[in-house]
Structure 1
Amino acid sequence: METQAQKITVETTVNAPVGKVWEYFNAPEHIKQWCFAADDWHAPFSENDLKTGGKFTTTMAAKDGSFSFDFGGVYSNVVPESLIEYGMTDGRTVKVTFEDHGDSTTVTEVFDAEQTNPADMQKAGWQAILDNFKKHVEAN
């Protein structure tokens, strides 16, 4: 019997309309500006084919060159300005919702925990990336 993966939720409310939030969340030129958890990391590469069945890859790397990895997957469901669901290359799933409040948008990510790192560490990392996203959108 297969065990169900633990679900972790992170969320932020961005002070921007859903159209801008959607664009900045999905456009590679923007992803490279926010998709990392700490200031000593960056995202030097991103490509995104945002459609059901489309693939995406973002490289996250330490600025000192000591470590990098590709974060990617395949979209299973894309509803513009509302919902993104995808499977990561390791088989885990992610659901991202965009809740339109007019002048602000709530972005919620629910993802399957991996088995290597503690859940609270995973949540903190994903939340830090989402916080970077919020800062990037609101500053531009």
Structure 2
Amino acid sequence: MITVQTSVNAKIEKVWEFWTTPKHIQRWNNPTDDWHTPAVENDVKAGGKFKYTIATKDGTISFDYEGIYTKVDKFLVIEYQLVDNRTGSVQFESQGDKVIIIEIFEPEKAHPASEQKEFCQGVIDNFKKYAEAN
């Protein structure tokens, strides 16, 4: 399993909204400025589906990150299963005006785990930057 985390200086209500709302996801869901998320579908409930199209801005790489939510406990945890059956979770630990976000997921086999961790840490760090600036 791979674990990434960050601490966001914002209240849990804002963090949850920015983490789950498509218009916000499109603005933060990229590891670097070379990437973007041009399309997002997100039905945040147990049994709800999600699909993020993630791509490099120059068009050389594009993939869909998609699956189904297996557990959603608002302001606490989101658990999911991807279309390739890998699983993961995102935990939200509210501490007043700060939220610790911890994402744990099964790596896929096509790319080194270290690359996947770096990519996802970049995404979660970009979320922190976006949430604190907006």
**Shorter-chain TM-score above 0.5:** yes
Question: Residue 15 of structure 1 corresponds to which residue in structure 2?
Answer: 9
1:29 corresponds to 2:23: yes
Matches within 5 A, 1:6-85: 7-85=1-79
User: Could you tell me how far 1:67 is from its partner in structure 2?
Assistant: 2.2
User: Could you tell me how far 1:35 is from its partner in structure 2?
Assistant: 0.7
Where structure 2 has 5 or more consecutive residues not aligned to the other structure, the ranges are none
Identity across the alignment (%): 49
Question: Residue 102 of structure 1 corresponds to which residue in structure 2?
Answer: 96
Query: What value does the CA root-mean-square deviation take over the aligned residues?
Result: 0.7
Deviations 1:28-68 (A, max 9, x none): 00000011112111111101000000001111111112221
Larger radius of gyration: 1
Q: TM-score, normalised by structure 2?
A: 0.97
Q: Which amino acid aligns with 1:51?
A: K
Q: Which amino acid aligns with 2:35?
A: W
Number of aligned residue pairs: give it.
134
Where structure 1 has 5 or more consecutive residues not aligned to the other structure, the ranges are 1-6
- For 1:116 and 1:64, locate their aligned partners in 2 and report how far apart those are by CA, in whole Å: 22
Runs of 4+ in 1 over 6 A off after TM superposition: none
- For 1:28 and 1:98, locate their aligned partners in 2 and report how far apart those are by CA, in whole Å: 19
- For 2:63 and 2:112, locate their aligned partners in 1 and report how far apart those are by CA, in whole Å: 19
- For 2:58 and 2:67, locate their aligned partners in 1 and report how far apart those are by CA, in whole Å: 26
Q: Which amino acid aligns with 2:112?
A: P
1:137 corresponds to 2:121: no
- For 1:82 and 1:135, locate their aligned partners in 2 and report how far apart those are by CA, in whole Å: 21
Question: Residue 3 of structure 1 corresponds to which residue in structure 2?
Answer: none
User: Could you tell me how far 1:69 is from its partner in structure 2?
Assistant: 1.0
Q: TM-score, normalised by structure 1?
A: 0.93
Deviations 1:3-42 (A, max 9, x none): xxxx110000000011100110000000000111121111
Q: Which amino acid aligns with 2:109?
A: Q
Question: Residue 91 of structure 1 corresponds to which residue in structure 2?
Answer: 85
Q: Which amino acid aligns with 1:13?
A: S
